[in-house]
């Protein structure tokens, strides 16, 4: 399972130093064992097995190190003829040639492996850029509302899949979408980009959230295949605490209050997913200052443990209470990783939204600022 925070770019896959160390140990043990056995079993020519050392190193070590060890094993093969009284014989020369061939093959393997790794790194770099274009970082705070996001990819090689989210400020509200594309791979990523593009345009064009959802549905209907659809939740956040939610077959958000209460925001007449419906119903709600909303995709509640039990989100909502939003999401994703033993079978997007006190308008005295003195007039 690979976790991507939207406040920092994901790094390329690092070289596994433990594999290199293990390769060194095995290769050294092979050469040492061959040397000892050649000395002990003087009647058996084991020098040809020295070449296994660089072949083992070729699986994990750089080319120069493998070539250096290969040269050392060739020298060992030459010197071995002195203590087993075979120096210069046909058997000794054949052993040296075998070691040299093995060392050359090991170097060729290293060159090919490093070229493939370089190609993989370039592909990953392009994927990171695509991820940033598809899922840009959400704002930490916007008009009295705080945001934190996580994307957990089920594939270690990938940073992003078919799950999506976006935050767009408008003149009257903050509009948020979270969604999940049916399917996996590049087709799901392409359809997710279609939904996000339609949402970014519709969010600043239409006044009502159901119109925004309908615009996204029309975009999906134009681009999706006959069996493709997207579950989504469109959320309108108003400065006075009003919430407008439009569900297209998506899970309702969880509301966590600092006063200890948590509940599911019930959706009124949720519609089918985008691509299967074009009319949507708005559910209105209200949240207080300090309340947090968790928006999520299927990967959270469908994660299973070794016994096949689903992750119980309601039992872990207390992890979202207190501390910063980033810290709260860290606690939740750690609990999820522990439950699934690191084996997430579906991508997961998380958005944690918190209502902060409204910023004071310019010229408005704060509670700690004394009122100006009254001047008496005649």
- In this structure, are 121 and 142 located in the same domain? no
Residue 161 has pLDDT above 80, yes or no: no
pLDDT of residue 15: 42
Across the chain, mean pLDDT equals 81
Measured distance CA(212)–CA(166) in Å, rounded: 13
> Per residue in 105-158, pLDDT tens?
989 999 998 999 888 888 777 766 666 667 778 999 998 999 999 988 766 555
- In this structure, are 87 and 143 located in the same domain? no
Does residue 226 lie within any of the structural domains? yes
- In this structure, are 98 and 27 located in the same domain? yes
Does residue 8 lie within any of the structural domains? no
> Per residue in 57-93, pLDDT tens?
888 788 888 888 888 888 887 887 776 677 878 888 8
- In this structure, are 277 and 309 located in the same domain? yes
Burial of 155: CB neighbours in 10 Å, binned 0-12, 13-18, 19+ = middle
198: phi then psi, degrees, rounded to nearest 5: -65, -40
Does residue 276 lie within any of the structural domains? yes
- In this structure, are 172 and 41 located in the same domain? no
- In this structure, are 53 and 201 located in the same domain? no
- In this structure, are 239 and 273 located in the same domain? yes
- In this structure, are 115 and 203 located in the same domain? no
> Per residue in 213-249, pLDDT tens?
999 999 999 988 888 899 999 999 999 999 999 999 9
- Kindly compute the dihedral angle of the four CA atoms of residues 223, 228, 233, 236, in this order, to the nearest 10 degrees: 10
- In this structure, are 122 and 142 located in the same domain? no
Does residue 6 lie within any of the structural domains? no
Cα end-to-end distance, the chain, whole Å: 77
> Per residue in 266-294, pLDDT tens?
988 888 999 888 899 999 999 999 999 99
How many domains does the chain contain in total?
Answer: 2
Instruction: Note whether 57 and 27 are within 8 A (CB).
Output: yes
pLDDT of residue 375: 44
Residue 326 belongs to a domain with what CATH number? 3.60.40.10
* % of the chain residues with pLDDT over 90: 42
* Domain residue limits at 93: 17-128
- In this structure, are 249 and 279 located in the same domain? yes
Range scoring the smallest mean pLDDT among 121-130, 354-363, 368-377 = 368-377
Does residue 9 lie within any of the structural domains? no
DSSP H helical segments within the chain, as ranges? 17-40, 52-57, 63-83, 90-134, 185-203, 209-223, 298-301, 325-340
- In this structure, are 312 and 176 located in the same domain? yes
Does residue 331 lie within any of the structural domains? yes
Does residue 363 lie within any of the structural domains? no
- In this structure, are 143 and 120 located in the same domain? no
pTM higher than the cut 0.75: no
């Amino acid at each position: 399972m690979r976790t991507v925070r939207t406040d920092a770019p994901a790094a390329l896959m690092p070289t596994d130093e433990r594999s290199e160390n293990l390769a060194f140990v095995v290769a050294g043990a092979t050469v040492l064992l061959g040397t000892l056995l050649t000395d002990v079993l003087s009647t058996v020519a084991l020098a040809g097995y020295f070449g296994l050392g660089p072949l083992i190193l070729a699986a994990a070590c750089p080319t120069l190190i493998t070539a250096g060890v290969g040269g050392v094993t060739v020298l060992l093969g030459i010197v071995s003829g002195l203590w087993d009284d075979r120096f210069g014989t046909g058997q000794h020369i054949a052993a040296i040639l075998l070691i040299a061939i093995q060392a050359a093959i090991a170097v060729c393997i290293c060159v090919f492996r490093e070229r493939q790794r370089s190609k993989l790194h370039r592909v990953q770099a392009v994927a990171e850029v695509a991820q940033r274009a598809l899922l840009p970082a959400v704002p930490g705070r916007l008009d009295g509302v705080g945001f934190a996001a996580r994307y957990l990819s089920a594939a270690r090689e990938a940073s992003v899949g078919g799950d999506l989210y976006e935050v767009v400020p408008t003149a009257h509200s903050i509009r948020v979408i979270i969604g999940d594309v049916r399917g996996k791979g590049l087709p799901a990523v392409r359809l997710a980009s279609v939904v996000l593009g339609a949402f970014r345009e519709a969010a600043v064009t239409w006044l009502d959230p159901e119109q925004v959802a309908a615009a996204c549905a029309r975009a999906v209907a134009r681009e999706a295949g006959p069996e493709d659809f997207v579950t989504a939740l469109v959320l309108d956040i108003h400065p006075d605490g009003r919430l407008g939610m439009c569900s297209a077959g998506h899970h309702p958000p969880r509301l966590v209050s600092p006063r200890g209460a948590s509940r599911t925001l019930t959706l009124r007449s949720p519609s089918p997913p985008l691509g299967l419906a074009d009319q949507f119903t708005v559910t209105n709600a209200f949240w207080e200052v300090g309340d947090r909303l968790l928006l999520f995709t299927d990967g959270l509640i469908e994660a299973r443990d070794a016994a096949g039990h689903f992750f119980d989100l309601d039992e872990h909502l207390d992890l979202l209470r207190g501390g910063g939003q980033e810290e709260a999401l860290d606690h939740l994703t750690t609990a999820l990783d522990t439950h699934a033993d690191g084996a997430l079978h579906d991508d997961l997007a998380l958005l944690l939204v918190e209502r902060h006190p409204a910023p004071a308008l310019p010229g408005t005295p704060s509670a700690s600022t004394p009122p100006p003195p009254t001047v008496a007039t005649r």
